[in-house]
């Protein structure tokens, strides 16, 4: 079958580092993406890993291990505005999303 699993919610404090994990199961794999969605808004693209390793974009980094069918999104220097839902997604013809992780950043 095809599926993605990620924690439903994570809480962290301002200035901290948080990691959101994503494990996937699929018979074909073409890279892992991460999207951010603020409450009531549309998802926006954050990062994409086609190959194993770490991709860094400012305070956000994303990691992929294809042998472990695992990836994570790392958010550093957390800010209140980072409170949002984060989705991992993979492409198999079309983009399939996980159920999302709700991140709450506390002062």
| Footprint on this chain of another protein (rule: CB under 8 A) | 30-33, 35, 41-45, 48, 50, 87, 89-91, 94-100, 102
Between CA 18 and CA 75 the distance in angstroms is: 5
- Radius of gyration, alpha carbons of the chain: 13
Token match 């959101």: residue? 20
DSSP for residue 27: S
Minimum CB–partner distance for residue 97 and another protein (Å) = 4
Asked whether 86 and 61 are in contact (CB, 8 A), the reply is no
Measured from the CB atom, the residue of 30 and 68 that comes closer to another protein is: 30
Measured from the CB atom, the residue of 63 and 90 that comes closer to another protein is: 90
Minimum CB–partner distance for residue 46 and another protein (Å) = 10
Measured from the CB atom, the residue of 75 and 87 that comes closer to another protein is: 87
């Amino acid at each position: 079958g095809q599926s993605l699993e990620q924690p439903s919610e994570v809480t962290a404090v301002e200035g901290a580092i948080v990691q959101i994990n994503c494990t996937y199961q699929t018979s074909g794999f073409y890279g892992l993406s991460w999207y951010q969605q603020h409450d009531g808004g549309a998802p926006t693209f954050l990062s994409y890993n086609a190959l194993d390793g770490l991709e860094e974009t400012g305070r956000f980094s994303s990691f992929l291990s294809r042998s472990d069918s695992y990836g994570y999104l790392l958010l550093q220097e957390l800010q209140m505005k980072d409170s949002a839902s984060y989705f991992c997604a993979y492409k198999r013809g079309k983009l399939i999303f996980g159920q999302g992780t709700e991140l709450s950043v506390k002062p």
